Chain A
């Protein structure tokens, strides 16, 4: 199984600023995803991070607000831009093997926006 690390593990940010979250995997993976989990809620997929090309965003999420990079098969970043208190959530990176299609999650980044 893949081992995933995320940085930072938590942060408190001011309204209007941006935060970049890093996700590092210990092996090359095809599929990488970014999720948001608002307090007391389930996981919502933000986007699929595509290596070497633009991410594929889910309905309700846009590149200007959540720019994503994936320069190689082991690393990705998610930026939360122009933050507001509504962005306070846990942000989770995940990867999926293709055979079998088992998904693994990083430890998450707990973001609080004041």
Chain B
């Protein structure tokens, strides 16, 4: 099956700092999503981004499908950004079964 690797596994920031999270995948994909899991366990959709660039407030994401990676940018981080960020992909030509990376655990200190 498709492999999904996220880096870094852990990240600690001071409030106001910027960060970049990376998701590498081993095969062509027709779907890629970024999720934020808050400390209460809720998974929140951040971006549906199989290719290209999107922005939503302080967050933006870029997927370069031909090079098999995606980046999530967090600018001016806030304590509420803390949690785990997951990348999930669906292999092109495969079944509609998402594969999740192991996630990046982010802690933002005030």
Contacts and interface: CB of A to CB of B under 8 A. Distances in A.
Interface in B38-81: 41-43, 45, 48
Nearest to A110: B41
A92 B86 contact: no
A38 to B, nearest CB: 12
Contact-size category for B: 10 to 19
A108 B45 contact: no
B33 interface: yes
A16 B45 CA distance: 35
B42 A103 contact: no
B98 A103 contact: yes
Interface residues of A, number: 22
B66 to A, nearest CB: 19
A104 B33 CA distance: 10
Contact of A102 (B45, B100, B101, B103): B45
Interface stretch (A17-25, A41-49, A79-87): A41-49
A31 B96 contact: yes
B88 interface: yes
A interface: dominant SS: strand
Contacts of B86: 42-43
Q: Which of A41, A96, A98, A110 has the most CB of B within 10 A?
A: A96
A105 B84 CA distance: 15
16 contacts: A1-B45, A33-B98, A42-B86, A42-B102, A43-B86, A43-B100, A45-B97, A48-B97, A90-B41, A101-B30, A102-B45, A102-B48, A103-B33, A103-B45, A104-B45, A105-B42
Closest 8 CB pairs of A and B: A105-B43, A101-B31, A102-B48, A43-B100, A42-B102, A108-B41, A42-B100, A90-B41
Interface of B: 30-31, 33, 35, 41-43, 45, 48, 86, 88, 90, 96-98, 100-103
Interface of A: 1, 31, 33, 37, 41-43, 45, 48, 90, 92, 96, 98, 100-105, 107-108, 110
